[in-house]
Structure 1
Amino acid sequence: MNAGYIDDGTGEFMGENSPSLARRPLAQIGSRARPQPRLRLLPLAGFVWGSRAAMPLPRTRGEHVLIRVTRGTLQLDFPRSRQALGPDSLFYIPCGTAFAALPLVDCAGEVLLIAPELTRDLSHPLPERALGGRLDHDDPAPRLMLQELAQEARRTSPDARAAIACQLSLLALRLARLEPVARRVQASPGHDPDLPLAERFVALAQTRLADGSTIADLADTLGVTTAELDAACQHRHGKRAVDLVHDLRLARAVQMLRDTSESPARIARMLGYSSLAHLSRAFVTATGRLPDSFRGAD
């Protein structure tokens, strides 16, 4: 089980739940005493960013962030807005921008984290503001560009830095030509008409895990019956609405056990479990371990 890593620059714990790439940068050029600028490529499904709360709140980070969504929906929260990124979306967030990222059910893709030092003196600078857009579904260029950046980051030859700068300049040009697609949601995520019903339900449920809302309450907020909601969830995810809520609550509990120091009892209260015993039963069923042993095994 992976719990992220300690960031060399800030000393803060980073909560990306990702394979071994999340534990170390793709490149470490130079001595340990003077760590060099780096790129890191992470799986989007495990990229949860924001404050350490049941529902992450916007928080700044010291790297530029490039997000590519290939499946499902990523929820992005900014101080004054919320955006839902669907498949074939590309989104860039410059360092210093406060945001929260939460992959919803079945979300997949990649996240490229770029050290600001690598973006100095580019022939075409990266945008100064967050922006996103739609990719051509059949265009392999974005995927190949990320792969090439990852490959260059592994190299230790003198020209690797120049190659990375060239690729980042090309990335800046592509970002400038994106077709706008990210949907801004000012009200509750459950009211975004552009999202399928099942995704609106998941986005809404993510925000109400701890308030005691029933499936009937959520269905009423969405303006549908529980039967219609169940049918949409079965069609989209192969599960009933109540089972999706169970998965969301358990996934958030796993994330909080990995990324925070909150006690299992407090996590249970924050996520709407009736008791610590309720959380423990769910954990044992899903993982074969109690919450404390799950955290201790990391």
Structure 2
Amino acid sequence: MSLWERSGWKGGFPFSPTRLGPLGRAVRGQGGDVDVTAASICDTGATLPRTTPAALSYGRIVVPDALTVRVTPASRRTAPRRASLRLLPIGAFTWGSATPPVQPRTRPDHTLIWVTGGRMRLDFPRSGTILEPGDVRFIPSGTAFAARPRAGAEGHVLLISPELVAEVDPPLPRSVTAGCIGQGAAVLAATLQALVEEAARSPDRKALDCYLNVLSLRLSRLDPERDRRTSAGAALADRPLVDRFLALSASEIGSDRTLADLAQDLGTTLTQLDRACLQARGRRAIDLVHEQRLERAAELLRHTDRPTPRIAQDLGYASHGHFTRIFVAATGRTPETYRQQMTRTPD
């Protein structure tokens, strides 16, 4: 009873002040993201800057409160979600479940992925693919996917809050859109950069809508997606079947594609492929693939500092434990012991 009768409550709620800083303050997040509260968006007279894909700068732009759209009733005393744009380097963007094997997860924002160099693995619940230079994917909010950049991958990822595109005309795609950028790379690069820069200049929403319209138009005019089976077969058509198979499997190492898929790309069947491998190398196709993965793992252990769980994930092993068991059976040493012995400097 005495607590309820305290006269000290008249001066305010008797809890200590919150340690949370004010909203809109610059905060450095994972992957080098920086949150910046936008003070302005430039006027509609701005023109697209001349920007090359390599010259894009990255960051996060939070749209001012005046432009924020509340999507749920204010039933709790929490700050409303703030509409924002984020432009990230592709090597800093990984999405999916936290534990291997990586499983698709949904995101609340629209995701635009553009690969300019290297490769990136993109998986959906029932399909997966490898993105190569020039490939573009637009993934609407609420779509489950997993993304894993390969070593040396280059490109850009744009994350867009759905609140920002509610009035865009023509609207952004409502389903996953796949294609190649082709001759429009300069326009797309300039648009991505302009979206981030213009969102930070003035409270005028018209300029931001203008660039979002340009982005929507650019996505509607992508070149058709490449036929990977045709390109893979054509590139290797003049080589013997087993050599073609080994080259293709090396390029797909770590992917979820089966041996039957690779055999189909090569215009043969798994039975014929196995027979050819036994005649040429004395081993079945699956054994040759396992050998390739072990050789690649040993190379990564010798020449990189990449953690062994990440190596196991990149090479398509079910888990770190599975990778360790296979490596010990082949070499008699754990991956960690092998790395220590192979990188030890002589006395």
Correspondence for 1:204:
253
- 1:220 pairs with one of 285, 294, 315: 285
Correspondence for 2:192:
146
CA deviation string 1:36-68 (max 9, x = no partner): 200001111121111122231111111100001
Q: Is 196-205 or 67-76 further displaced after alignment? A: 196-205
CA deviation string 1:195-252 (max 9, x = no partner): 99667436433559xxxxxxx9x993497897xx69xxxxxxxxx7344554799357
Q: Distance in 2 between matches of 1:91 and 1:51?
A: 20
CA contact (8 A) 2:300 2:311 kept: no
What SS does the corresponding residue of 1:154 show, helix, strand or coil? coil
Q: Distance in 2 between matches of 1:283 and 1:225?
A: 20
The amino acid across from 1:166 in the alignment is C
CA contact (8 A) 2:308 2:336 kept: no
Correspondence for 2:173:
127
Q: Distance in 2 between matches of 1:62 and 1:225?
A: 38
Distance 1:184 1:78, change over 3 A: farther
TM-score (norm 1): 0.63
- 1:67 pairs with one of 104, 113, 117: 113
Correspondence for 1:262:
none
Runs (5+) with no aligned partner, structure 2? 1-28, 38-58, 66-77, 237-245, 258-280, 313-318, 342-347
Count of aligned pairs between the two proteins: 238
Are 2:33 and 1:20 equivalent residues in the alignment? yes
1:92-241 maps to which residues of 2 (within 5 A)? 92-136=138-182, 139-155=185-201, 157-159=202-204, 161-181=205-225, 193=233, 200-201=249-250, 203-205=252-254, 220-221=285-286, 241=296
Are 2:318 and 1:272 equivalent residues in the alignment? no
Q: Distance in 1 between matches of 2:180 and 2:163?
A: 27
Rg larger in structure: 2
Correspondence for 2:41:
none
Correspondence for 2:55:
none
TM-score (norm 2): 0.55
Distance 1:280 1:244, change over 3 A: closer
Q: Distance in 2 between matches of 1:163 and 1:201?
A: 47
CA contact (8 A) 1:73 1:199 kept: no
Runs (5+) with no aligned partner, structure 1? 1-15, 186-191, 209-215, 231-239, 257-266, 286-298
CA contact (8 A) 2:179 2:224 kept: yes
RMSD: 4.6
Q: Distance in 2 between matches of 1:141 and 1:129?
A: 23
What SS does the corresponding residue of 2:96 show, helix, strand or coil? coil
Report the identity percentage: 32
CA contact (8 A) 1:74 1:102 kept: yes
The amino acid across from 2:33 in the alignment is S
Correspondence for 2:345:
none
Distance 1:219 1:150, change over 3 A: farther
